[in-house]
Structure 1
Amino acid sequence: MEYQFIRDPITGFRVKISDEHMLVGRWLSEELPYDEVMQLVADAKAMHKDSPVIVKEGKEIRFTLSADEALFEAHALFHQADDLSHYADDALELDEHGLLSGCGYEDFIALLEAWNQFIHRA
């Protein structure tokens, strides 16, 4: 997974990342408070058989971490109560591209550690 960290004087810290991992970058930039990054790394490294999964509900994104992968799901994926058939005449449909993303556990931990270094060095 390739990424680049950016310090923007207007919007703050951001992650430039591939389209495939766009939701990961959005979660990191917008949903995870800077002061919780290292706590999440510690929690992830201390995952036990008692609690093999960490789940964090954000404002717009659900984050799930297991021993194998980190999964990011936009809340828009769960709006099944909306009847989209009303919009059929307009040829509108829910585009799921960019609403689900994931990466391996090791890649995710490396990303978090690099992000923490970047935000505390800047």
Structure 2
Amino acid sequence: MEYQFIRDPISGFKVRMSEEHALVGRWLNEELPLKEVSSFIEKMDMVKQGTEELKLEGKEIRLTLSKDEALFEAHTLFQNEVDLSRYEDDFLELDEDGLMAGCGFEDFQALMHDWIRFVQSRR
């Protein structure tokens, strides 16, 4: 998983990620407030030690964290009440690329530890 951390003078701390993991970056940038990163890392440690999964429903993205993987799913994937067939004449369809991303637990844990070190070192 490739990522780059940025401290933007206007928008604050951000992470850029490869296209394959863009949803992970979006979750980190938009769904997890900086003040909650430390407590989230503690929750990650509990997931790694236990058998329980952690599910976090964000505004736009759901994270399901198990001791093996982190799965990110955009809420758009679960919009079943919209009848997409009525848009067929316009050749519109739901593009599921970028609406789901996953990575191994260890990779995600490394990202989170790198993220908190970056943020703390630049405050």
| Bin for the TM-score computed over the shorter chain | over 0.9
Query: What is the TM-score with the length of structure 2 in the denominator?
Result: 0.94
How much does 1:90 deviate? 0.4
How much does 1:82 deviate? 0.3
Counterpart-to-counterpart distance in 1, 2:121 and 2:76: 34
Counterpart-to-counterpart distance in 2, 1:12 and 1:85: 41
SS in 2 for 1:24: helix
Identity over aligned pairs, percent:
58
Counterpart-to-counterpart distance in 2, 1:27 and 1:112: 12
CA RMSD across the alignment: 0.8
How much does 1:39 deviate? 1.2
- Residues 50-73 of structure 1: per-residue CA shift (max 9 Å, x gap): xx1001110000011001000000
Counterpart-to-counterpart distance in 2, 1:57 and 1:84: 24
Counterpart-to-counterpart distance in 1, 2:72 and 2:59: 12
Partner of 1:23: 23
Counterpart-to-counterpart distance in 2, 1:111 and 1:83: 38
How much does 1:14 deviate? 1.1
Determine if contact 1:73/1:101 at 8 Å carries over to the other structure: yes
SS in 1 for 2:30: helix
Query: What is the TM-score with the length of structure 1 in the denominator?
Result: 0.95
Structure 1 gap segments, 5+ residues each: none
Partner of 2:34: 34
- Give the ranges of 4+ consecutive aligned residues of structure 1 lying more than 3 Å apart after TM superposition: none
Counterpart-to-counterpart distance in 2, 1:111 and 1:46: 17
Determine if contact 1:38/1:113 at 8 Å carries over to the other structure: no
Structure 2 gap segments, 5+ residues each: none
